[in-house]
A = this chain, B = another copy of it.
Amino acid sequence: MEQNACCSRREHDLQRRVRAFAEERDWGQFHTPKNLAMALAGEVGELIAEFQWLTPEQSAEVMSDPEAGGRVRAEIGDVMIYLTRLADVLGIDLADAALSKLENSALRYPTDQVRGSAAKR
């Protein structure tokens, strides 16, 4: 009933914990949207480096290797942390923004016209 309108409890919990993590360290001063977008890009760079020399087929099996799989999970965690923090400081609800964009993309890419094709529109 008191549930924040914007988020499920689990999402709200992640957002709240990331915010607390930053505030406890007095890092709010560094967390402008500009800086957080850079930090997000840096983490995505580390994630992409995990896949750069793998064939597409090897990339599909990456989680079965405990070491590489653990690194991939950690990098995805880092990306999600900065994305959550960036959305928080901008006042954007992540899942809402994703669902809006998905509806928009559904109109641009009608299933009967794009099936099996990766061409951009």
A residues whose Cβ falls under 8 Å from a Cβ of B: 7-11, 13-14, 17-18, 21, 24-27, 29-30, 32-35, 37-57, 59-60, 62-63, 72-74, 76-81, 83-84, 86-87, 89-92, 94-95, 97-102, 104-106, 109, 111, 114-116, 118, 120
Contacts and interface: CB of A to CB of B under 8 A. Distances in A.
29 contacts: A8-B8, A11-B11, A13-B95, A18-B98, A21-B102, A21-B106, A25-B111, A25-B114, A29-B116, A30-B118, A32-B56, A32-B60, A33-B59, A33-B72, A38-B38, A38-B41, A38-B48, A40-B44, A41-B48, A45-B46, A45-B48, A53-B118, A63-B90, A63-B92, A77-B99, A78-B101, A80-B94, A80-B101, A81-B101
A30 B48 contact: no
A51 B56 CA distance: 13
Given A56-B55, A81-B101, A118 B34 contact: no
Contacts of A40: 44, 47-48, 79
